[in-house]
A and B are shown apart, each in its own frame.
Chain A
Amino acid sequence: MNDRPSESPDNTESPANDGGADQSRISADDVAKVANLSRLTLDADELELFTHQLADILDHARDIESLDLDGVEPMARPLPLVNVFRADEPGEPLDRAEVLAAAPSVENDQFRVPPSLGER
């Protein structure tokens, strides 16, 4: 499962092509699925709007792929920084009472949440 077009230019299973009849366009179903995974509710107009916008973004990625990039190192981040670390030293924790006071629901000093499963 690799969502980065730059690393799988020939991957016909990339999300962009899932179920889409037109190989170059993302389908409304794809967008609906991604929206669902992100817990976003889109109405029909929004679905169409975002499908177009996302397709444009993917087209742009495809434009880049069409360039000759042999010998160009893949880059995940624009910052020329490596190894930024923190010493393994404890800091001050947050006050539990204060934190729990901000929670919608509390039980036994814990956050109480509705039943939840990834599956739906």
Chain B
Amino acid sequence: MSDATGTTIDLEKWEIVVGLEVHAELSTRTKLFSSAINQFGGEPNTNIDPLTLGLPGSLPVLNEQAVELAIRVGLALNCTVQPNEFSRKNYFYPDLPKDYQISQFDRPIDDEGHLELPDGTVIGVERAHLEEDTGKSTHVGGGGRIHDAGHSTIDYNRAGVPLLEIVGKPDIRSADQAKAYVSELRSILMAVGASDGKMEEGSMRVDCNVSVRPRGTTELGTRCEVKNVNSLRSLGRAIEYEAVRQVDMISAGERVQQQTRHWNEDDGRTHKLRSKEEADDYRFFPEPDLVEVDPGEEWIERVRAALPVLPAARRHRLSEASGVDLAKTAIVVERGLDELCLAAIDAGADPVRTLTHAEHNLSDERSLDLDPGAFASLVTMETGGDLTATQAKQVLAEMVSSGGSPADIARAKGFEAMDNSELEGIVDDLIAGSPDEWQRFLEGDTKVMGFFVGQVMKATRGQADGKVVTKLLNSRR
């Protein structure tokens, strides 16, 4: 049941089911089947050749590097990399002048895999297949929307750019999980060098299949496919909007119809693009101009051996080395600081403090250049009581911006560990100088504690350890 405003659904009664299809442009130099350049943002229609334009007599020849990248992604997603072939997907639309798209149909290169989200949830991947991207149409006239366009103009630079379409299983159960899936997939694609992952440039495009069902049931509801989702934020919004729309329909006694819908970022709604009854009938058949691809054991194993350690494995490694929760390691791995933390922990730094610094105080990109030994010394100075948490943070910031050893920076900043007798003198002077406040403190007004700690900090220019000051004050009561 939706609430009165129709903006949320009762998640105790309803379950959202999402399956995502992610199209990733592969980082090759040239197109999938021709030697025209694969490049974003060129002058319109400059990266074109006879094949791109579907000129008579032009024939496709498969780009080996695109296959290599598809193998990398397949292995990174725990897929079976298998013998595969291309098929023609026939449709008339001016974004591909050949009047068909070369894609993979019943024998994709990557079959059945999965990926693991930072919280440990595993989401299935049905398949990943190679296909060519389409040209970019711009709708002119009308309201600029696809339905009332006066005419279109087309730039074929993108037509034929290699795409890997990664089809996820309907294992996703919330908008947040969908966002986590896409961002994990993005990290993986970038880690293996398959894609630059730039959603804003269309390097990664997401179609989401959304359905709802009463919680506790297992049958899938009728789904709608939502297109034009261009950022993680709109992905989340589109799924939430669509789930509410479907629950509202079902609650009103209507049936959800299987449709393709278009996400409109401006009004925050999805709009019907076409219904599946007039369903796409693409009449796939084996592409006669290309031969079968059989990557073979040797190629696959060579690619596997060269894969970097992937984000999920890095999170597990860091979690195991530090004893910190898996989910908490995500941001550190995302920033690429896990190797630094592992080395610092190896050098004897306290794991929890190390990760806390990495999470809260090392968002600056230059943190990647920190010397692990120096980072470890800083953490050890802090845990050993030579620096307060605040001082450690300041020293670390200086280490990141200007380099240098933590000991030198601490000395330069005057962060010598205060000796207690000196501190006791300051506390006693303060008590003597603030008799009224002290009286209130003695009478049990704990709020005054903050005043005294603040005054001590001021007198010591922040060098005193707050905990020690508190202890001293309590001992004077």
Contacts and interface: CB of A to CB of B under 8 A. Distances in A.
A89 B64 contact: no
From DSSP, what is the main secondary structure of chain B's interface residues?
loop
Interface in B55-82: 61-67
Nearest to B147: A117
A83 B291 CA distance: 7
B35, B61, B140: residue with the most chain A Cβ atoms closer than 10 Å: B35
A40 B273 CA distance: 25
Interface stretch (B44-52, B215-223, B398-406, B431-439): B44-52
Contact of A112 (B43, B151, B291): B151
B91 interface: yes
B64 A37 contact: no
Nearest to A4: B285
Given A84-B62, A118-B93, A99 B44 contact: no
Nearest to B152: A113
A1 B284 contact: yes
Interface in A82-120: 82-94, 96, 99-100, 107-119
A114 B33 CA distance: 28
Contact of A88 (B30, B92, B152): B30
A85 B53 contact: no
Contacts of A69: none
A93 to B, nearest CB: 6
B451 to A, nearest CB: 69
A89 B94 CA distance: 27
Interface string B242-286: 000000000000000000000000000000001000101111111
Nearest to A112: B153
A108 B44 CA distance: 8
Interface residues of A, number: 43
A93 B47 CA distance: 6
A81 interface: yes
A93 B36 contact: yes
Contacts of A118: 91-93, 274, 280
From DSSP, what is the main secondary structure of chain A's interface residues?
loop
A1, A77, A87, A93: residue with the most chain B Cβ atoms closer than 10 Å: A93
A113 B36 CA distance: 23
A116 B30 contact: no
B112 interface: no
Contacts of A79: 291
Contacts of A82: 83, 291-294
Nearest to A100: B45
Given A3-B284, A116-B93, A108 B293 contact: no
Contacts of B35: 86, 89-91
Nearest to A119: B274
Contacts of A39: 92
Contacts of B50: 94
Contacts, number: 144
Contacts of A115: 139, 142, 149-152
A7 B37 CA distance: 38
A100 to B, nearest CB: 7
A3 B106 CA distance: 11
A34 B30 CA distance: 35
B154 interface: yes
B88 to A, nearest CB: 11
Contacts of A87: 64-65
A2 interface: yes
B36 A110 contact: no
B43, B65, B152: residue with the most chain A Cβ atoms closer than 10 Å: B152
A84 B36 CA distance: 18
A76 interface: yes
B51 to A, nearest CB: 10
B286 A2 contact: no
A86 B64 contact: yes
A113 B154 contact: yes
A108 B151 contact: no
B196 interface: no
Interface of A: 1-4, 7, 33-34, 37-39, 76-77, 79, 81-94, 96, 99-100, 107-119
Given A1-B284, A110-B45, 17 more contacts: A37-B90, A77-B291, A84-B62, A84-B291, A85-B67, A86-B63, A87-B64, A91-B35, A94-B49, A96-B45, A96-B48, A100-B45, A110-B138, A111-B94, A113-B94, A115-B149, A118-B274
21 contacts: A1-B282, A7-B106, A37-B90, A38-B90, A77-B85, A79-B291, A82-B291, A82-B293, A83-B294, A84-B62, A86-B35, A89-B30, A90-B36, A91-B49, A92-B49, A93-B48, A96-B43, A109-B44, A110-B155, A113-B153, A113-B154
A-B residue pairs, 9 tightest by C-beta: A91-B35, A85-B64, A88-B65, A110-B153, A76-B286, A86-B61, A81-B291, A113-B94, A111-B154
